[in-house]
Amino acid sequence: MIWAITQNELKRIWYSPIAWVLFSVALLVLGLLLLILLNNFYAEVQDKLVGLERAPGLTDLVIAPFMFWVAVVGIILVPLFAVRSSTEERHFGSHILLGSAPISAKQIVFGKYFALMLIALLFTLICCSYALVLGHFTPIDYGKTLAGMLAVFLTISSFNSVALYIANLTSTPIIATAGILGALLIMVMLYLSGSATASSSELFLYLTNFSHLTNLISGSIDTEHIAYFLLFAILFLFLCVRRLQLENIS
């Protein structure tokens, strides 16, 4: 049943021109960004690194920042599909189809969430393939690159659970979109507050997904970060299930 809902969500997104437009724009922007980072590396940075001991390479100075930006674009873009998946469904009344079917709130939430996860995976693979292509022309650290891909995927996937929860709180797409972007802004503010030299806070840094993202991108695959992303996703999926149960779409 979960797979049926996932397939249906993917099909709806596949047929949607908005999805294609958003993906195309994101790929174009990220492609240009990679070009800028590469150009900057070869034109300005590379010469300064000559002779330095344990100098950072292309992976640290091009691929890692590129991965960070892939995550930023992904975390803005992919959760918007949650609005399409849930808020628009409520807006047009099609959620009643699921509500009157013999399926539970958990199945509905996980079905939709897995669809968003697969989109996040597709987005990560396509965008990060840019970085992997570089490996054909110049030596890169594949371990760090794969850690970066994992970081991007986990960041987008975990934030999808927040997006899904917010998308189920309202039937107005614009409110849901504003809510999701607002939640993202809170994450950014926590990261900025936590990493500011004057008022750095370990708690703020632990709470925001950006600090875990940057740690993973730098190549340190720590279970603490993976546990954070899992707990974050589980918390908001649980809230989402409760929300549907309270509405009695169960």
Question: Which of 40, 104, 195, 218 is in the footprint of another protein by CB under 8 A?
Answer: 104
Closer by beta carbon to another protein, 195 or else 245: 245
CB of 115 to another protein, least distance (A): 13
Is 218 buried (19+), middle (13-18) or exposed (0-12) by CB count in 10 A? middle
Cβ count within 10 A of residue 107: 19
Q: Which of residues 14-33 bind another protein (CB under 8 A)?
A: 15-16
249 binds another protein (CB under 8 A): yes
Q: Which of residues 219-248 bind another protein (CB under 8 A)?
A: 248
CB of 6 to another protein, least distance (A): 11
Structure tokens at 232: 């974050």
Pick the piece of the chain touching another protein (CB under 8 A) from 5-13, 30-38, 45-53, 147-155: 5-13
Per DSSP, helices labelled H in the chain are: 2-14, 17-40, 46-49, 58, 64-77, 80-82, 88-92, 95-99, 105-134, 142-167, 173-195, 202-207, 209-217, 223-246
Cβ count within 10 A of residue 105: 21
CB of 80 to another protein, least distance (A): 16
118 binds another protein (CB under 8 A): no
Cβ count within 10 A of residue 88: 19
173 binds another protein (CB under 8 A): no
Give the separation between CA 141 and CA 193, rounded to whole angstroms. Answer: 31
Closer by beta carbon to another protein, 19 or else 45: 19
User: What is the binding site for another protein (CB under 8 A)?
Assistant: 1, 4-5, 8, 11-12, 15-16, 92-104, 248-250
